[in-house]
A = this chain, B = another copy of it.
Amino acid sequence: MTHQIRKVAAIGGGVIGGGWIARFILNGYDVAIYDPHPEAERIVGEVLANAERAYGKLFQAPPVAKGQMIFASSLQEAVCDADYIQESVPERLDLKQKIYSDIEAHARPDALIGSSTSGFKPSELQADMRHPERAFVAHPFNPVYLLPLVEIVPSKANDRALIDQACAFLEEVGMKALVVRKEIDAHIADRLLEAVWREGLWLINDGIASTEEIDDAIRYGFGLRWAQMGLFETYRVAGGEAGMRHFISQFGPALQWPWTKLMDVPELTDELIDRIASQSDEQSGHMSVRELERARDDNLVGILLALKGNDWGAGAIVSDMDKRFYAKAHQDVGKSAPDFSKPLELHKAKVLGEWTDYNGHMTEHRYLQVLGDATDAFLSFIGMDEAYLAQGFSVYTVETHIRFLQEVPAGTEIKVRTQILGCDEKRLRLSHEMRTPEETVIATGEHMLMHVDTKASSACAFRDPLSGNLQRINDAQKALSLPDFAGRAIRAVE
């Protein structure tokens, strides 16, 4: 009884609910939202703004058409025609159980229902439900629009086919669905996090370390490891050639004693709360929460892009999403049937913080990155897809002439206008103009490309569909005058 998911409802729009909403919307899904909080619209709007900013940096592909955000005036209105419902209300079991009864009263019987709970078991949430088989824990991590992990926890009452459907949907919006084998309080990740909290609170309570020192002990050390390998793979590597079995049997007894110490939870007295709050102010109080959010998101984007470069872990997911976004963009370009008699606009980009130099302006080679991406967008537009490449053909740039006309700061939106300056059997001469939204020309590029047989490493004639499409566009653009920068050399001085 599975069906395609088209409409999403979000019950609760705080930091977590807002993060879910942003992820759904930016993946093209309409979301109906119910949250009685008087400022819900503002809060969700702020999270969405952060998410759009981060996605602009994270993905190379042009963004997909955003889904619509519909604020419903009742839970009934939000869930009545939803295929997937995500509940993110405060962590009180009685409240959640009441919400599940309400959802059941108004939602379609085949709607999937995921709960953002970080602590409760699905069987607890399902206690009063008539159709418990379609409700499960879907526990995400803040910021929900960037961190891929979602813990999917079913109970014995769940229908496995529905769980599979939920996982497929959440993976389609770029998540890593980790299905937890047995329901337990706090699932998996928060068990680990709580253990660290407990130890961290003791370290502060006993005056061993401050909040900043604990954070430094994490982010300059094992935190860097954990962004890419977890606990076990890290120690498998550290253990060396002797292997995991050897490592774990050596390691256990060696650390037995500290392991068995200080296992209670320190009492959160007013004095301890006060100490933590003051230390945290001292550590991070020079930045507002908004500034910290942006710094966090920029760092996460950078880390995700670094892992994408190695096709590893969370980065491999970003890479998949980017491909999917590109595919959607090309479908859209295909639909719009552009006017070939004018320069084409096939590529957009936004100048990232890490693209800028010490002057705060886009670095030289990032101009060429944008121009190169525009060339890729053009090639993909004329039909150079994976199947074409798999035949052993590709297109290489052999010569490039760039004029840098304007400095651009981080955040600048760039669009690229592309014109064919000429082509023959094997060669293609292209120009790009990089422009701001206000049509200021930032830079120009003139490029000579060569069609190659990649196995023989030699030039060869374009094949269809490239050759036909090139001819068609070239014929249509012949009436255009050549840009004034074309065919020019760098002048001598002295």
Contacts and interface: CB of A to CB of B under 8 A. Distances in A.
Copies in the complex: 2
Given A216-B149, A276-B248, A119 B258 contact: yes
A258 B185 contact: yes
Nearest to A242: B289
Interface string A465-494: 000000000100000000000111111111
A221 B313 CA distance: 11
A226 B218 contact: yes
B353 A296 contact: no
A227 B237 contact: no
Given A149-B221, A207-B181, A224-B303, A232 B283 contact: yes
Interface string A29-47: 0000000000000000000
Contact of A217 (B149, B212, B254, B353): B149
A400 interface: yes
A456 interface: no
A421 B492 contact: yes
A364 interface: yes
Contact of A404 (B196, B248, B397): B397
The prevalent SS among residues of A at the interface is helix
A274 B244 CA distance: 9
Contacts of A279: 232
Nearest to A405: B398
A65 interface: no
Interface string A275-316: 011011101100001001101101111111111011011100
A387 interface: no
Interface in A93-149: 119, 141-142, 146-149
Interface string A180-194: 111011101111111
B147 A221 contact: yes
A140 to B, nearest CB: 9
Contacts of A213: 178, 180-181, 188
A347 interface: no
Contact of A236 (B228, B284, B309, B493): B284
11 contacts: A182-B207, A192-B214, A192-B218, A197-B231, A198-B259, A200-B232, A219-B226, A245-B273, A367-B368, A429-B494, A488-B489
A385 interface: no
Contact of A364 (B194, B223, B312, B372): B372
A359 interface: yes
A3 interface: no
Nearest to A201: B252
Interface stretch (A77-85, A154-162, A262-270): A262-270
Given A228-B300, A399-B402, A421-B492, 8 more contacts: A142-B238, A186-B255, A194-B258, A218-B226, A299-B313, A363-B372, A448-B493, A486-B490
A277 to B, nearest CB: 4
Given A196-B192, A233-B284, A490 B399 contact: yes
Given A229-B219, A229-B296, A494-B423, A255 B211 contact: no
A249 interface: yes
Nearest to A191: B199
Contact of A15 (B238, B243, B256, B259): B238
